[in-house]
Structures are given as structure tokens and as C-alpha cells.
Amino acid sequence: MPNRIFLVFILIFFVQPSVLGAFQSVRVQIIDVGQGDCILIRTPNVKWVLIDAGTNSQIANGLPSWGVAKIALAVVSHRHSDHLGGMDNVLNSIPVDQFLGITEDCPNRSSDDDVRDAIAEKEVPVLPLDTGSIVIDRVKFTIMPLPPRHDCPEDENNNSIVIRLDFGEFSMLFTGDAEIDERGWLIEHHSDLLDVDVLKASHHGSDNGTSDEWLSEITPTHVVISAGVHRKYRHPHMNAVQDYSNATNNHVYCTNRHGTIRVDGYRNGNILVSKQRDNNKSCVYDGTHY
């Protein structure tokens, strides 16, 4: 019985209309996949966008229960298993209109073979990385320009696809695991695209995923961190969380403490944040919760 109650709660959390008006918002769900990233976005007229897919089949199995019959755009920010690992299951289990991600078949790399095979088998169109922007149901997705680099880099984090979402006056930035080099390049060349309302923290709230200069460009009112309970990484890091808290007047949310986090962004710029686990625990490692 407890498991059934939990399942009903999850379904309600994902599909219930916002108290501020059904389907008048773009809904961004930062799904708790443990150590990894998975962001499911619902546009006002129920088109679906998926950015990353965690590590396994968890997301693909959950999509039908959440009302997802087709994905308008699937994105892999970069080729690490905690972002890429579940995407082949998604591609094989549900129609996908278009895919964005690096699909180069690199030497000595097999982690993305299943995704590449699924794209080929399902004949999913692959968008070029210089697409610029895509509008899906009045929601604009801007693919941030990438610095010149090799298609098979050793540093995947600094090869992350960064995406900006705009719906009316609401904006949000999805950063993958972009570290110092990539973020510095974006600040130098495209600072005009960085000022947003909500930031999905880079690299699971790691210290190398933020800086004072970065936050001064973003000026977020809310920060969401996707991280798992992991003894090795201990994400999110204390200094980063403190910086995010200072920048947002303590509007920081994390999947390791709060479960799946839902952000409703309204055309007039209003923001409503909901947490799966309604507690006020600090996001940082405290020596006891790992």
C-alpha cells in the first residue's frame, strides 16, 4: 500500500495542472535520477522536450505514465553516462521528432554507441549544433554557440551543449556540466544570452560549475541543482551552494534533498517552484546524510 500511495503522488506531481491555471505555463521538471541529469519540459499545449536522460531505463519506463506520447526534441548535453545513459531507451520506446547532440563516432569511445544505433534505426533527424534557435509551441530554445573544438574532445564537461529557454518574460538556462573554460568563453562572446530567471546549476552543484563572474552574468532568482547521494563526488559542494544561495536570496533547490523539482514559468515572468519532498534541508553534504 505505501508504494501505491507513493506512485499516485508521483503521477499527480508530474501531471496535475498548476494552481495558477492549467497549461498556461511552460513546465520544467528536473527529475530525481540520483547522480545525473534529466529534465522533462512540457510546453503550454503539451509538447514535450527532454534534456538528458539519466543513466538507465528509468526515464523511458516513466514517460507513458506521465502522459508523454511523443517527444518533440531530445537533447544529450554531453557524452557522460549520467546524462547520456538512458537516452537509447527513450529513443527505442517512444517517437522522437528530432535529436540534438554530438553523434560523432569517436575512436576508443563506445559509451554512445547505443544512442547512435537507436537514432539510425528509428531514423530520427539530427539537428546541427549551429541550429541557433528552435521554437516549439511558443517556447523558444536557443542553442548557445559552442567555442571551436574537436568533435571528439577529451574534456566532455567543457563540451556541453548549453540551452536557453524563453517563454514570454520567463527564461531558464540549462548548462549540462560546463566548467570554467566553456563558461568563460560564453561570458566573453555571448554574455547577452546569459541573463535568465532560473539556472540549472552546472556539473551537479560542483565548485567548478560556478563562479562570481558567472553568477553576475546570469543574475538568477532561482537555482536548481540535479545531484545524487554519492560518497565519492559529494555533490553539491558547500561553497557552490552558498554562492547560489547568496545570489538568489536562498532560492536554491536540489534533487538530492527535495526529489523531483518542478518549475512553472509564466508568460508574464511569474515563477512557481514545487518540490516532491517538501522540506527545508540544506542541499550540502553535512557529514550524516550520505
Q: pLDDT tens digit string along 22-33?
A: 468 999 999 999
Cell numbers 537533447 correspond to 75
**β-strands 271-275, 252-254: how paired?**
unpaired
Rounded to a whole number of angstroms, the distance between the first and last alpha carbons of the chain is: 27
Across 30-34, 129-133, 134-138, 276-280, least confident range: 276-280
The dotted CATH code for 17-275 is: 3.60.15.10
Higher pLDDT, 154 or 196: 196
pLDDT band at residue 230 under the 50/70/90 scheme: low
Q: Please return the burial class of 8, using the count of CB atoms within 10 Å of its CB with bins 0-12, 13-18 and 19+.
A: exposed
List the domain boundaries for the chain: 17-275
Containing 84, the helix (H) or strand (E) segment is helix 81-84
**pLDDT value at position 138?**
94
Mean pLDDT of the chain: 88
Cell numbers found for residue 110: 563506445
Cα separations in angstroms, 140 against 42, 192, 232: 13, 16, 37
Percentage of residues of the chain with pLDDT beyond 70: 88
Could you report the per-residue pLDDT of 177-213, keeping only the tens digit for each?
999 999 999 999 999 999 999 999 999 889 999 999 9
The 3-state DSSP class for residue 57 equals: coil
Round to whole Å and give the CA distance between 181 and 187: 10
Q: ω into residue 44 within 30 of 0, thus cis?
A: no
Provide Rg for the chain, Cα atoms.
18
Grid-cell match 563506445, residue found: 110
For the stretch 82-97, pLDDT in tens is 899 999 999 999 999 9
Say what the alpha-carbon torsion angle 33, 35, 37, 39 is, to the nearest 10 degrees.
Answer: 30
* Whole-prediction pTM: 0.89
Lowest mean pLDDT among 5-19, 115-129, 145-159, 231-245: 5-19
Nearest to 39 by CA among 53, 25, 24, 60: 53
> What's residue 105's pLDDT?
86
Could you tell me if 210 and 229 are in contact, meaning their C-beta atoms sit under 8 angstroms apart?
no
pLDDT at 13: 54
Residue 148 pLDDT > 90, yes or no?
Answer: no
CA dist., res. 276 & res. 195, Å (int): 27
